[in-house]
Amino acid sequence: MKNSDKLDTFIIEEKIVKVNGDIASRFYTRGKELGKGGFAKVYEVTNNETKEIYAAKVVQKSSLTKGRTRQKLMTEIKIHRSVHNKGIVNFEHFFEDSENIYILLEICNNGNLNEKLKRRRRLTELEAQCYLMQLYSIIRYLHSLKIVHRDIKLSNLLINESMELKLGDFGLATKIEFEGERKRTMCGTPNYIAPEILDSRVGHSYEVDIWSFGIVAYTMLVGKPPFQAEDARNTYKRIQGNKYSFPEATPISPEARDLIGSILQTNPSSRLTLDQIIDHPFLNKNTIPRTLPISTLCVPPSNT
């Protein structure tokens, strides 16, 4: 391989059609890998001209051979580009070349909540309150647009330079088209799947995001998801039987236990609503900071 070819693999070219019909190019330099998903790799990229930095989600076209996968990517793009909120990773734009589709996103430099939890083992109640308040606002916004995200989990909750929480990955998001519609596609991440998703006869809707909110809360405070088992099949069994408990050795306040217990209800209509969540004692018993200090990425905050 010639040196210039080697270099080319790290340069991404975006073809732009100008108003007068001429074609121009915009170049980006590919930087470090930020993460990996189901069928995408995410890299840091820099616009060579403006020096603006983005996260680029790169999907190989060869991985889109099945019609369903392509359709899913199109839905992800359609829904993600339609949402604008400070709690959601901003969708800049997307383009393609002969090999890949590139989705340019606002970069979140401080990793995702799963990585933070791995470093910290578990988070303090104050941190959980702070992230849950932000997650509440994000879900409230999405549901007001009749969008159900369906994949709310720690690795899809990113932290930006200002330590603000941003939800990403709209790959499983769906729009509720009419009042009372129940979706029947089996989807989600095993540990976070709501029981009604496992039973396609029942159908599911907005309440699956509330369920994931409960799983996120438990996971942050305990250090592992409530229904975790040796394999997905056993996780599903535990979800369907609502079999979880709080480890005795972990100090968790009665308010936190009550919030989680009132959300992890098998029957979606018994689950807390967003209005009940924001009024719950766990989110009202003390002053909650809007964001946390950067030091908490590695060590607990000093005031708890």
Kindly list the residues in this chain that would bind ligand ADP in the complex (CB under 6 A): 34-40, 42, 55, 57, 89, 105-108, 112, 155-156, 158, 168-169, 171
Q: Could you give the CA distance from residue 270 to residue 300 in angstroms, rounded to a whole number? A: 34
Does the annotation mark 151 as catalytic?
yes
Cα–Cα distances (Å) from 167 to 53, 157, 200, 286, 304, in that order, read 19, 5, 26, 25, 26
Of 18 and 36, nearer to ligand ADP (C-beta) is 36
Q: How far is the CB of 10 from ligand ADP (least distance, A)?
A: 18
Of 93 and 243, nearer to ligand ADP (C-beta) is 93
Active-site option among 5, 22, 97, 151: 151
Residue 62 in tokens: 């060869």
Q: Which residues pair with 59 in a beta bridge?
A: 101
Q: Is 120 exposed, middle or buried (0-12, 13-18, 19+ CB in 10 A)?
A: middle
Q: How far is the CB of 56 from ligand ADP (least distance, A)?
A: 9
Q: How far is the CB of 172 from ligand ADP (least distance, A)?
A: 9
Q: How far is the CB of 64 from ligand ADP (least distance, A)?
A: 12
Residue 285 is assigned to a ligand binding site:
no
Q: Could you give the CA distance from residue 210 to residue 225 in angstroms, rounded to a whole number? A: 15
Of 82 and 253, nearer to ligand ADP (C-beta) is 82
In terms of C-beta distances under 8 Å and separation of at least 24 residues, what long-range contacts does 9-12 make, across chains too? 11/48, 12/45, 12/56, 12/97, 12/102
Of 37 and 203, nearer to ligand ADP (C-beta) is 37
Q: List residues forming the annotated binding site for ATP.
A: 57
Active site residues: 151
Known binding-site residues equal: 57
